[in-house]
Amino acid sequence: MSSPVQVLHAERIPSSGCLVIPGRITLNELPHLEKLFAGRKITWFIEEHSKLDPGVQAHLERSGSGALFSDDDPSHAVAGEHLKPLLANGGVLIFVHGKAVARAGVPCHIPGKTLRTLCSFGLPVLPVLIDYPREACLSIERPSSMPHAMIGIGTVIPAEEACPALFREQLLGMVEESFSRRPLLKGSLAMALLHGLKKHSRNKVHDGSDDSTIGFDKILGAALVFSKYIRESTDNQRIGVILPPGKAGLIANLAALFAGKTPVNFNFTAGHEAIRSAMRQSGLDRYITADPFVRKIASFPWPPNRDLIFIERVLPSLKKKIISWTILGKLMPAAAIATLFRIGKKRDGDECALLFTSGSSGEPKGVPLTHRNVLGNVCQFGTRLNLAPGAAILGSLPLFHSFGCTVTLWYPIIEGIDLVTYPNPIETKRLAELIAQRGVNILLATPTFLRGYMKRVEPEQLRSLQLVVTGAEKLPDNLAEAFQERFGIPPQEGYGLTETSPATNVNLPDLTAPADTVVIPSHRRGSVGHMLPGIAFRMTDPATEKAVRGDKQGVIWMKGANIFPGYLNNPKQSSEVLTADGWFRTGDVGRIDDDGFLYIEGRISRFSKIAGEMVPHETVEAAVNKALGLDAEAERKIAIVGIPDEQKGEAIVLLSTIAGPALEQECIDLRYKLMDAGFPSLWCPKIIVPVTEIPVLASGKLDLKGCEELAMR
């Protein structure tokens, strides 16, 4: 049993006076704060228009003096001069926010405007985290093993540096430290899946490829028996999986984990060279697949038949054992099953999945993910969603895609969400039929796939959807608006990378609350949302690599339980993106706003350094799309690429499928349109290169390597 409240870094409390800003607070934590600052004069600091919880207000009235401020008063610096005497002799001002609601795991319940005001009084600021680990808890976790609250003390931000960005950076750093202590993270993904399948045995998987439905209880029986077959088939610690989303792919991955193996899901849409590279790097001797799939993608560089395990041949031969273990799986405790099948020996920092990057900018890199990584990300993503029992999610993203693995395989099993699968995310007409028939609530897609829904799907077919989340590429504003207008639901943009297991940010619909309660926003158009629980961030200058404030454009670094340990057999590339203390350089450039929303402004590889200035390709693409009046529902027609230039280092090239014969004049006309819109001359394309199509990967991402080859050619 853990203690109700734990304190992190009490030694950081300064002896000098300061403005103490807890990100959130309840009546239960007020006495603990008073104890931390015992013997010092405490003044409670309250925004005059905020509505306090009655219990909090009564406590403040009993326990000390108070001071008021107004968000609407412009003379904050003047007000700050009047407040400074309250900090004499170590006195502290402690801010107490009014009633507010936010999604689970959001550490700051202070609106951005109020936070900006607090930082503008010219006082040293002490960030304080008050975290409630039990509110962001998976169904298989034991809340009693965690403290009721975690109070974290930051380091004092000098008055002249105080700003919302630095406050949030410190707060999220402490959340990461708090989250990393969860007992769940030391566990085994295989054990979590075993507990999930047993706990949610009545949940179902509906396979849209043959319209079959199978319960979690039968999935467990099949995976247990097949795991023994796998264990006997190879001594290799990894096993390949070449299957699309569906019950076969799910059972294959589960069985691999139950057998103590690492499943390696292969990208069967990649080029042969990339596939062979991934196979070679993985060092495999067995691959799980299915006969019909082998025939369907005959051009795939298949290993020899002796190395293939055909799941649709093996499972029928094990039918009697599967029936027995479907029954026994319900009756026996998870611990007994785990002992018999040797499940859960690997845990925490051991490898549990091996994925490969898309290779959009070169040879695919192997990304090993640990049990800690995946369990952490399932908790980060799942608890923020907080879905009701009976919800259903569409699983059509490929299993070699990290989102397809973590979010549409492991998350539904652990949390008891019905899973509706289909092998092809492009067949939107069939997907819409499944959404309507099965009452699917969550759709995960890329903007490229959303365009298919715009063309081929009727609005009533998507009525059951409560949440549409896009990732892998930027969600254009005009596409988001067009989708919302057609289907009545706004697509929410998220963000993640294979190396982050993958989800780090997501926009979600705002909550509702009574009129006297502040609603902390959960989404902001153009951003990728708040950081998920337990993920810290920092920014560095793209040119100098020196630290910059989070509200300034910089390269995004992240830290958390979900960050991978390093690239497969590649210490050099690993050292380029990972620091010794666990910080990961994402390679994306962005910034956060006062409310903590992250904006991605481009991939560092999608910037050109022209005459010393960093030019973001995606920003230029958006401006060109607008200038040319391109349709939101259309396929990608343009792409911006940087090529070497003797005079200015690099030059901007526009690849276009709509270029006419008068390329020079078209380029001049476009340049004037962009400059009229306020873009500097340096950012305008130097030449237009006509192409028949823009190279795009199967995931919907731009094929950067292919685009660069076209531009150079």
> What's the CATH number where 680 sits?
3.30.300.30
Q: Is the pLDDT of residue 124 over 90?
A: yes
**92 is written with which tokens?**
């502290």
Q: What is the pLDDT averaged over residues 390-398? A: 93
The contacts of residue 49 (CB under 8 Å, 6+ apart) are: 70, 71
- pLDDT tens column, 47-68: 988 899 889 989 888 887 888 8
Phi, psi for residue 570 in degrees, rounded to 5 = -145, 70
Residue matched to tokens 């040319």: 628
Cβ atoms of residues 435 and 460 within 8 Å: no
502: in domain: no
658: in domain: yes
> What's the CATH number where 227 sits?
3.40.50.12780
Same-domain pairing of 19 and 158: yes
Same-domain pairing of 250 and 321: yes
Which has the higher per-residue pLDDT, 674 or 609? 674
- pLDDT tens column, 399-410: 998 888 899 999
460: in domain: no
Proportion of the chain in helix, strand, coil states, percent, rounded to 5: 40, 25, 40
From 388, 572, 568, 379, select the one nearest 467 (Cα to Cα): 388
The overall average pLDDT reported for the chain is: 91
Residue matched to tokens 């060092």: 283
249: in domain: yes
Same-domain pairing of 156 and 273: no
Same-domain pairing of 570 and 676: no
366: in domain: yes
From 418, 429, 389, 422, select the one nearest 404 (Cα to Cα): 422
- The pLDDT assigned to 670 comes to 84
Same-domain pairing of 591 and 644: no
- The pLDDT assigned to 633 comes to 58
**Which whole-number Å values give the CA distances from 99 to 51, 67, 380, in the listed order?**
6, 18, 25
- pLDDT tens column, 468-514: 999 888 888 889 999 999 999 999 999 999 999 999 999 999 999 99
- Which residues, in sequence order, are bridge partners of residue 21? 127
Cβ atoms of residues 422 and 431 within 8 Å: yes
Phi, psi for residue 463 in degrees, rounded to 5 = -60, -30
Q: Which of 340, 371, 402 is the last residue of a domain?
A: 371
- The pLDDT assigned to 136 comes to 85
Same-domain pairing of 173 and 262: no
414: in domain: no
469: in domain: no
Same-domain pairing of 200 and 167: no
The four Cα atoms 666, 667, 670, 674 give a dihedral, to 10 degrees, of 180
Cβ atoms of residues 149 and 28 within 8 Å: yes
**Strand, coil or helix: 46:** strand
The contacts of residue 313 (CB under 8 Å, 6+ apart) are: 291
Q: Running DSSP on this structure, what letter comes out for residue 498?
A: G
- The pLDDT assigned to 492 comes to 96
What does the angle CA 349 – CA 169 – CA 549 come to, to the nearest 5 degrees? 125
Same-domain pairing of 200 and 300: yes
Indicate the burial class of 587 (C-beta count within 10 angstroms; 0-12, 13-18, 19 or more).
middle
For every residue of 403-433, DSSP letters joined together read HHHIIIIIHHHHHT-EEEE-S-TT-HHHHHH
pLDDT bin (cut points 50, 70, 90) of residue 559 is very high
Q: What is the pLDDT averaged over residues 100-125? A: 95
- Whether omega for the bond prior to residue 111 falls within 30 degrees of 0, making it cis, is no
pLDDT bin (cut points 50, 70, 90) of residue 710 is confident
Q: What is the pLDDT averaged over residues 452-474? A: 93
Q: Which of 596, 624, 648 is the last residue of a domain?
A: 596
**390 is written with which tokens?**
């009976």
Q: What is the pLDDT averaged over residues 580-600? A: 95
**Strand, coil or helix: 485:** helix
572: in domain: yes
Top mean-pLDDT range of 77-91, 122-136, 646-660, 676-690: 122-136
Same-domain pairing of 221 and 351: yes
Same-domain pairing of 196 and 315: yes
- The pLDDT assigned to 174 comes to 97
Cβ atoms of residues 420 and 440 within 8 Å: yes
Q: Which of 320, 338, 371 is the last residue of a domain?
A: 371
Q: What is the pLDDT averaged over residues 579-604? A: 92
Cβ atoms of residues 522 and 125 within 8 Å: no
Domain count, the chain: 4
Indicate the pTM of the whole model.
0.89
**52 is written with which tokens?**
């306090």
For every residue of 64-133, DSSP letters joined together read -EEEEE-TT-S-HHHHHHHHGGGGGGG-EEEE---SEE--TT----S-HHHHHHHHTSS--EEEEEEE-G
Picking from 32-46, 441-455, 612-626, which range would have the lowest pLDDT averaged per residue?
Answer: 612-626
Same-domain pairing of 231 and 121: no
- The pLDDT assigned to 571 comes to 95
From 51, 131, 101, select the one nearest 510 (Cα to Cα): 101
pLDDT bin (cut points 50, 70, 90) of residue 362 is low
Phi, psi for residue 11 in degrees, rounded to 5 = -65, -15
Same-domain pairing of 557 and 627: no
Q: Residue 100: give the domain boundaries.
A: 5-181
For every residue of 322-377, DSSP letters joined together read HHHHHHHHHHS-HHHHHHHHTTTSS-TTSEEEEEE---TTSSPPEEEEEHHHHHHH
| C-beta atoms surrounding 666 within 10 Å | 19
- pLDDT tens column, 173-193: 999 999 999 999 999 999 999
Residues 640 and 153: their CA atoms lie apart, in Å, by 45
Q: Is the pLDDT of residue 1 over 60?
A: no
From 80, 75, 165, 166, select the one nearest 121 (Cα to Cα): 80
- The pLDDT assigned to 288 comes to 98
Residues 58 and 316: their CA atoms lie apart, in Å, by 68
